[in-house]
Every structure is written in structure tokens, then in C-alpha cells.
Amino acid sequence: MQTAPHSKGVDAIISPRKPMRPSSAFPPGASVVAYLRDSGHEDQELSVDQQEHAIRSWCADHGLILTRVFTDAAAPGSSTIGRAEFRAMISHFHAANCADRGVIIWKFNRFARDIDDAQFFKADLRRRGYIVHSLHDSVPDGLDGRFFEAAIDWMNARYLEDLSADIKRGLHHLVDQYGGMPGNPPKGLKRQIFELGRHRDGRVRQAARWVPDTDMLETIRLAWRMRAGGFGYGSIHQATKLYTTRQSYANFFRNRIYIGELEYGGRLITGYCEPIIDRDTWEVVQTVMDANHSSYLHLRQNHPRRARSNFLLSGLVQCAICKTQMYGNVVMPRGQRYGYYDCANRRNGACPDAKPIPQVVLEDAVIDNLVNHILQTDNLTQLLKTYRQDTDDLRRSTQQQIDALNRQLGKVRRQLGNLADLLAEDGLRSRALMNKVRTLEAKESELVLQIGELAVPVQPVELKPIDEIMPTVEEIKTRLLTPERNADTKNILAGLIDHIEVRREGKNQLVGVIYYYLPPAGKNIFMPKCQTPG
């Protein structure tokens, strides 16, 4: 037999070797930092502790000095928002005295999964001369390496999109097959937990469907009856206290869940749950909502922002007679422009005593009151003193109310305890005693709720000393007095004024009240430059 040629070479190729450790992009002795991140999920690739152990071992093998470790544990890579240590790492390299040569990461997907974030922040560091090195992504040096790295960023971003699609698919299946819904339900509904089976490790798999909350049904139905009867959001809020914002009520009355229908993922699922209101009430409310929306759009046609001149007090002025918003109106007799603030109810006859107020007269009066009274040093000093005193009085008054309610609560609970003893002796046969218990239990719940509402701490407003405020106040006054009134003037007024109630008597005599914010806290108006709200 002849020996196969090059047999020794073949043996050498197939013989086992030690795995190659990643080469270092850093010179020996260089100082570096590490960035670690994990998602916190039980199926994640490596925890931050495991990543740190591997990176420290790698640095020791290559003679590198690891000076700092930045760690974001249980943080998603889909965004840099909320990743405080990532931001700290970027700031570290932005510092002028940074002596580190670069950052080491376990894999590029630990740095960022969003393709724009990944490429932006890596480019930012590299333009500053720093190295971004991944232990477990094989990327060649040079321009070709950038191509491979971009492909890795694309795959990481694609993973996010695929994961998002899988999650949406799973949620749709959960809703379609079981009625399961993620998140918190709307007002008047509650989560009902049910079992879906078991995980592979034997743990119970649970989900939740939305069902009507029997404790809130009457309140929810009252709100819908009031809206169907034409009541506004203010009256409905006074009666129900369902929400804290006007927009929440608008969304509430458009939500089909209250007739048992669920809108989810662009689809309408009928018969999802028991309806809370009947369909006739739903239709009436939708008609009311549509009518109000049409009226709103009609009023917007004469909104000050659509007029050729800017009404500085638009959105701030109310009729002192009927408390309705006043809007800007422009008339052009003989080509001469005249601007007025007009009551919205005057034209339909609901407020016949209201008179249009000349724009220039009202705006001059308001600015004069601001500059020559409100923003004067003596007045601001007194305002600050009054605010501090009112805040202290409010805290004392609130605590006194809480103490009084706690005394009532203690009395109610003692009565409940005594009744419980009587019921135990009577064998639960006394209907009168049971009714008394129910009444006291309702009173107990009401007292606990009132105490809880009062116990929420009022966040104090940080007030600067008057001598720190006045330089900026003087600048504000100068800008208010400029002959050219513009968006800057309007922003200042909106920042200082809550609302104005005014009426006109005679030709140009104005009577009313201007409700100001406390200037140091008023919408952050005391800044070097006022910014237009977003």
C-alpha cells in the first residue's frame, strides 16, 4: 500500500485546537471602559455579571487596564432612553480629560438594537478618536469592517421588528381566542384573571380579560345619561369625578367598550363583554359629540391665529357676564382694520348684555397692569410672602381635616366592632343590625377615600429670593413694552396670566379681574428667553 500524500498535513488540519480568543484592537497597556447591558428576561443570552466576568478576563489576557464599567441591567436595547449608564458612558468620552482609548462590549446588540442609535453613537465615539470593540462579533479591520458592522446593526434592528411582529401576532391570538387583553382597562371595567395552561417549567400561565366592574356601573351609567342629556364635561366631572382632564372624558364617550365592543389592532370585536350602556344611549351621545365638534370647527374659522393680526390674549379672555370664552374678531369698514374680543354667546342671543371689547384697549390695559403693578418689586415681594403663608395655612388646614376624619373613622370602626359582637351573639338573625353594619361599612370606605385624597402631599414650588428674580423681571417688562408686539409678547402673557374675566361698560371702560400665576412659578416664564410651547 502506498501512503497517501500529505497525510501528515491532513492530520494536522483535523486535529483539535484551542478556540481562538478575539484579537485586541487596543495597544497593550491601554486603559479602557466596558459597557454592559441585559434585558432582564429569563431567556437572555448573558447577564451583566457574566458579561463583566468575560470582559475582565479578556482585558487581563491582552494586558489592558479596565478603568470603569457602565452597567444597564434589565434595560431594553430598542432605545437609549432610560439607559442612564449608557448616557453616562457617552458623557465620559465627551469629557476633555478622558484618557481611555475606547469601550469594550460583549456584542453590538448590547450597545444598541436600534439601527440609527447604533450607528450614530458609534460614529460619534469614533470621530472623537475612540475605539468601539465587540468581543463576539467578527468584524474585519478597515472599510470592509464597516460594511460587516452595518450588516450586524441591520440584523439587530430586524430582530426588533420581527420580535414586535411576533408579539403583535401573539396578542391578537390572545384577544381572538380567549378575550385576553394586556394593560389596564378603561374606567368601569376591571381585569379578570384566568388560566391559559402551564409553561414548560410547570408554572401556571395566566392572562386577563376585561369585564364590567360592578362597583362602578352606576357612576359610569350616570356619566353617559348626563352626556346624553346635553351636560358638559364640567358638570359630569362634578357628579362622577371619573377623570382629571377634559380630553379623558372626550375619549371616554367615544370608547365602544361601553356597548360591549372592543377596538383592537384596527379591528372591531363585537360581543367582547357585557355592555354597560344600551345602544340608544350610545347613539344619542355620539350625536351630541359630533354636534359639539362641528360647532368647535365653526368657531375656529375666526380663531385669532387665522386673523391677519395676532390677538395677544387669545385663549385667555372670558366674558365676565356669562363666563364664556371670548374670541378675536376683525372688521374692515372702509378698508380700516379694527380688532375686537367678542363673547361667543353674544351673537346667538345667550348673552345680550355683552359688548365687543376693542383689541388695543384691552391689550394695553393688561400690559399696563402687568408692568406698573404686578411686576413691581413691592408687589412681587408681597406675593411671595402671601404664597408662603397660604401654603403653610393649607398644610395646617389639611392636617386638621385628616385628624378630624381619622377621629370619625376610629368611631365608625369601634361601632362596627360592637355590632360584630352583637351579631355573633344574635346568630346573624337581626336584619336591622345587618343594615346598620352595611351603612357603617359604606361610611368607613368613604372616610378612608377622603383621607387618602387629602394625604397626597402637595409638591412645593421652589421660590427664588426676590433679588434673584428682579433682573429677569426687568427684562420681561422691557420686552412687554416693545412697540412691536409679536409671538414673544404673547408667550409672556400666556406664561403669567391664567385667565381674564372682563366686560365693557360705556364706550371704552373695562371692568374685570385678571387672574395671574404666581410669577416665580408661572409656567417658567422667568427665563432668559421665552420659548414657544410645543
Region class of 14: left (phi > 0), else alpha (psi between -120 and 50), else beta: alpha
Grid coordinates representing 185 are 382597562
pLDDT at 526: 37
Q: How confident is the model at residue 461 (pLDDT cuts 50, 70, 90)?
A: low
Length of the chain: 534
Grid coordinates representing 189 are 371595567
* Residues contacting residue 423 through CB under 8 Å, at least 6 positions apart: 430, 433, 434, 437
Q: CA–CA separation, 448 vs 454, rounded Å?
A: 10
Calculate the CA 360 to chain-centre distance.
38
Contact 376, 529 (CB under 8 A): no
Q: How many degrees, rounded to 5, is the angle at CA 483 between CA 502 and CA 355?
A: 20
Mean pLDDT over 60-72 rounds to 91
Q: Do domains 21-162 and 179-300 have the same CATH topology?
A: no
Q: Is the pLDDT of residue 347 over 80?
A: no
Q: How confident is the model at residue 150 (pLDDT cuts 50, 70, 90)?
A: low
Q: How confident is the model at residue 222 (pLDDT cuts 50, 70, 90)?
A: very high
> Which of 113-127, 314-328, 410-424 has the largest mean confidence?
314-328
pLDDT digits (tens, 9 = 90+) for 239-279: 898 987 767 888 899 999 999 988 876 678 888 889 999 99
| C-alpha atoms less than 13 angstroms from C-alpha of 162 in its C-beta half-sphere | 7
Q: Is the pLDDT of residue 168 over 70?
A: no
Mean pLDDT over 197-209 rounds to 74
pLDDT at 19: 37
pLDDT at 33: 94
Q: CA–CA separation, 403 vs 486, rounded Å?
A: 52
Mean pLDDT over 57-76 rounds to 87
Using DSSP's 3-state secondary structure scheme, residue 28 falls into coil
> Which of 60-64, 80-84, 158-162, 479-483 has the largest mean confidence?
60-64
Q: How confident is the model at residue 468 (pLDDT cuts 50, 70, 90)?
A: confident
pLDDT at 231: 84
Sign of the alpha-carbon dihedral angle for 419, 424, 428, 429 = negative
Q: How confident is the model at residue 213 (pLDDT cuts 50, 70, 90)?
A: very high
Q: CA–CA separation, 88 vs 82, rounded Å?
A: 11
Contact 191, 176 (CB under 8 A): no
Q: How confident is the model at residue 488 (pLDDT cuts 50, 70, 90)?
A: confident
Mean pLDDT over 119-131 rounds to 83
Domain boundaries, the chain: 21-162, 179-300, 389-454
Beta bridge partners of 68: 33
pLDDT at 48: 83
Q: Which residue has the higher pLDDT, 67 or 492?
A: 67
Grid coordinates representing 335 are 378698508
Give the chain's mean pLDDT. Answer: 76
pLDDT at 334: 76
Q: CA–CA separation, 358 vs 386, rounded Å?
A: 34
* Residues contacting residue 497 through CB under 8 Å, at least 6 positions apart: 313, 316, 366, 514, 515, 516, 517
Q: Which residue has the higher pLDDT, 174 or 455?
A: 455
pLDDT at 233: 85
Grid coordinates representing 26 are 487596543
pLDDT at 274: 92
Q: Is the pLDDT of residue 192 over 50?
A: yes
pLDDT at 59: 93
CA distances from 238 to 230, 284, 289, 442, 449 (A): 15, 21, 19, 21, 17
Nearest by Cα to 74 from 109, 44, 100: 44
Grid coordinates representing 361 are 384697549
Q: Which residue has the higher pLDDT, 41 or 346?
A: 346
pLDDT digits (tens, 9 = 90+) for 403-438: 888 899 889 888 877 777 666 555 545 566 667 777
Nearest by Cα to 130 from 167, 89, 188, 184: 89
Q: CA–CA separation, 234 vs 475, rounded Å?
A: 38
Lowest mean pLDDT among 3-7, 119-123, 421-425: 3-7
Query: For 321, phi and psi rounded to 5 degrees?
Result: -85, -50
Q: CA–CA separation, 153 vs 488, rounded Å?
A: 44
Using DSSP's 3-state secondary structure scheme, residue 213 falls into coil
Grid coordinates representing 443 are 361610611
Grid coordinates representing 7 are 497525510
Q: How confident is the model at residue 484 (pLDDT cuts 50, 70, 90)?
A: confident
A 10 A CB-CB count for 224 gives 21
Is residue 463 exposed (0-12), middle (13-18) or buried (19+ Cβ within 10 Å)? Answer: middle
pLDDT at 161: 55
Q: How confident is the model at residue 189 (pLDDT cuts 50, 70, 90)?
A: very high
Provide the CATH topology of domain 179-300: Hect, E3 ligase catalytic domain fold (3.90.1750)
Grid coordinates representing 118 are 447604533
Nearest by Cα to 242 from 266, 265, 261, 216: 216
Provide the CATH topology of domain 21-162: Rossmann fold (3.40.50)
Calculate the CA 291 to chain-centre distance.
30
* Residues contacting residue 129 through CB under 8 Å, at least 6 positions apart: none
Q: Is the pLDDT of residue 178 over 70?
A: no
Could you give the percent of the chain with pLDDT greater than 90? 14
Q: Is the pLDDT of residue 205 over 60?
A: yes
Contact 125, 164 (CB under 8 A): no
CA distances from 280 to 97, 225, 277, 283, 521 (A): 71, 11, 8, 5, 47
**What letter would DSSP give residue 446?**
H
Mean pLDDT over 1-21 rounds to 37
Could you give the percent of the chain with pLDDT greater than 70? 71
SS (H, E, C) 269-332: ECCCCCCCCCHHHHHHHHHHHHHHHHHHHHHHCCCHHHCCCCCCCCCCEEECCCCCEEEEEEEC
Nearest by Cα to 259 from 190, 209, 212: 212
Grid coordinates representing 363 are 391689550
